[in-house]
Amino acid sequence: MWDNGTWELTDVPTGQTVTPTEMLAERKRGADGGIDKYKGRFVVRGDQQTNLVDYTEVWAPVLCYTTLRVFLAYCTARGMAIEQTDVATAFLTGDVEEEIYIHQPVGYERGDVTKVCRLRKALYGSKQAARAWFHKLKEALEAAGFQACPEDPCLFRRGTGPTECLIIVYVDDMLVAGATKDAARDGLEAVTSRFKARELGRPTYFLGLHLVHNDEEGTLHVH
């Protein structure tokens, strides 16, 4: 968060409130249901934010499962290469327009401990975090030549024929498909060049679905 410029230290202006925060600990599970990693997350108490003061618009689109199934069928029928990626600390990339103050995380203070943090980037838990992140991602993809699908704004497309590339987005998890491996890599580069992301290779588990590829038969089983 410090490296990302999530906030800047300042004094609390007269009349401003400081939004409460919490440190959450959770277990992240993998495809087999086992614990994949332990994760700590510093979050804003969004339930303590005041509408029209700490936030305004909050809606952000989420990929429809129907779109995901159509995407997988479309890519399989055309033999497209598919890559999976997820963006680390995605919500910390969205810009905050409102004036929000929080206390420094206990145990991680820097400088004057009496100063508070004014948020410059969205923080997990804040009402506007998902919306701010989606707008940041959309701007990056549109700058790279992608266009959002009118029927589902979480499906992006660029190019035709051998340069065709599709990207579907579920918050910070994405699948990138290309008519060729090079097209898929180029699409992946549009994300990884702008955001800190993990390249997970060919997808075998996505949004709770197991994906089994059979290249000899040209099929994809989803269960």
- Residues 210-219: pLDDT tens digits? 999 999 999 9
What are the beta bridge partners of residue 24?
A: 41
Here the contacts of 140-148 (C-beta below 8 Å, separation 24 or greater) are 140/190, 140/191, 140/194, 140/195, 141/167, 141/190, 141/191, 144/190, 146/187, 146/190
Sign of CA dihedral 136, 138, 141, 144: negative
Confidence at 101, pLDDT banded by 50, 70, 90:
very high
- pTM for the model: 0.89
Domain ranges of the chain: 7-222
For residue range 145-157, list pLDDT tens digits in order.
999 999 999 999 9
Is the pLDDT score of 89 beyond 90?
A: no
Nearest of 152, 194, 193, 144 to residue 169 by alpha carbon: 152
pLDDT digits (tens, 9 = 90+) for 62-81: 999 999 999 999 999 999 99
Indicate if the pLDDT at residue 19 is higher than 90: yes
Confidence band, pLDDT 50/70/90 cuts, at residue 113: confident
Percent residues over pLDDT 90 in the chain: 83
pLDDT at 144 over 90: yes
Is the predicted pLDDT of residue 111 greater than 90, yes or no? no
What is the spatial distance between Cα 191 and Cα 222, in angstroms, rounded to a whole number? Answer: 26
Alpha-carbon gap, residue 155 to 67, rounded angstroms: 8
Average model confidence (pLDDT) across the chain? 93
> Distance from CA of residue 125 to its chain's centroid?
14
For residue 217, which of 79, 50, 65 has the smallest C-alpha distance? 79
> Angle between the 129-143 and 181-192 helix axes, to the nearest 10 degrees?
130
